[in-house]
């Protein structure tokens, strides 16, 4: 049975985490709500509204919709960090396409956002399936998105390799029954517990990662 590859978007294919953290930090500062690095890390890999709902009690007098719209407006500000592809992302996608590996994206972002970011990289057409926050009722760490992608590709989760950068995404991937590669692009290695393999980015990805009987033999993870 064929192996498929599924990718998270933010922090995995594109380096948006500095921009996202700056936007969330600006929201907290503008409303004089105390926050720290742990607070901001809690937004990584989760749907924005779901993560923000955990802090809604601190933004008195404001609705979830108002605050989410505000942070989206900040993310488009020209003074925030620019978005670039994660190192090795474009080369890896090209390599997998040449090998006819089915590809998908499973992101906590909305569909319009995901399509725009992938189109800006010139890789939108490379993917066979795109699962976004608009397609699920429960976001990461729930496995619903990854299971939906597997179903759309007619792939067994056990024959699926997922690339993720955040604890919530790794939890979702493992709960779905997939092999998960954790990237330390946005989080320290110690935070990515549960990943089957840790890599610093997408420049050192061995392929195939799965054999018909399970994970392929590989060198020890280069991330300690």
| pLDDT at 16 (0 to 100) | 80
SS3 222: coil
- Top mean-pLDDT range of 23-32, 41-50, 156-165: 156-165
* Catalytic-residue membership of 8: yes
SS3 113: helix
Select which of 10, 165, 196, 201 is catalytic.
10
Q: Is a pLDDT exceeding 70 seen at residue 37?
A: yes
Per-residue pLDDT reduced to its tens digit, 84-138: 899 999 999 999 999 999 999 999 988 988 998 899 899 999 999 999 999 999 9
| pLDDT at 175 (0 to 100) | 98
| pLDDT at 222 (0 to 100) | 56
Spatial contact of 33 and 59, defined as CB atoms under 8 Å apart = yes
* Catalytic-residue membership of 201: no
Residue 224: pLDDT band with limits 50, 70, 90: very low
Strand-strand pairing, 210-211 and 197-199? unpaired
Select which of 8, 165, 196, 201 is catalytic.
8
Q: What residue spans of the chain are helical by DSSP H? A: 17-30, 37-41, 48-53, 64-75, 89-98, 111-121, 144-152, 167-175
Among residues 195, 202, 173, the alpha carbon closest in space to that of 15 is found at 202
DSSP structure class, residue 220? P
pTM of the model: 0.77
Write down the mean pLDDT value for the chain: 90
Residues 6+ apart with CB under 8 A from 32: none
| pLDDT at 23 (0 to 100) | 84
């Amino acid at each position: 049975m064929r192996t498929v590859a599924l990718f998270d978007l933010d922090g995995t294919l594109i380096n948006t985490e500095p921009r996202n953290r700056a936007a969330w930090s600006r929201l907290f500062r503008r409303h004089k709500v105390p926050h720290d690095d742990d607070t901001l890390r809690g937004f990584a890999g989760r749907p924005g509204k779901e993560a923000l709902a955990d802090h809604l009690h601190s933004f008195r007098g404001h609705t979830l919709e108002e605050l989410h719209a505000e942070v989206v407006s900040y993310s488009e500000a020209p003074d925030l960090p620019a978005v670039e592809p994660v190192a090795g992302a474009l080369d890896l996608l090209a390599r997998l396409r040449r090998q006819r590996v089915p590809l998908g994206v499973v992101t906590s972002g909305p569909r319009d956002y995901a399509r725009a970011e992938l189109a800006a990289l010139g890789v939108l057409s490379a993917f066979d399936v795109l699962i976004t926050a608009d397609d699920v009722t429960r976001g990461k760490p729930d496995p619903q998105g990854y299971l939906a992608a597997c179903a759309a590709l007619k792939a067994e989760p056990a024959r699926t390799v997922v690339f993720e950068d955040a604890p919530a995404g790794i939890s979702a991937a493992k709960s779905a029954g997939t092999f998960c590669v954790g990237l330390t692009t946005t989080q320290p290695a110690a935070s990515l517990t549960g990943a089957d393999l840790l890599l610093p980015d997408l420049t050192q990805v061995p392929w195939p990662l799965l054999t018909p009987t399970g994970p392929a033999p590989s060198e020890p993870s280069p991330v300690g």
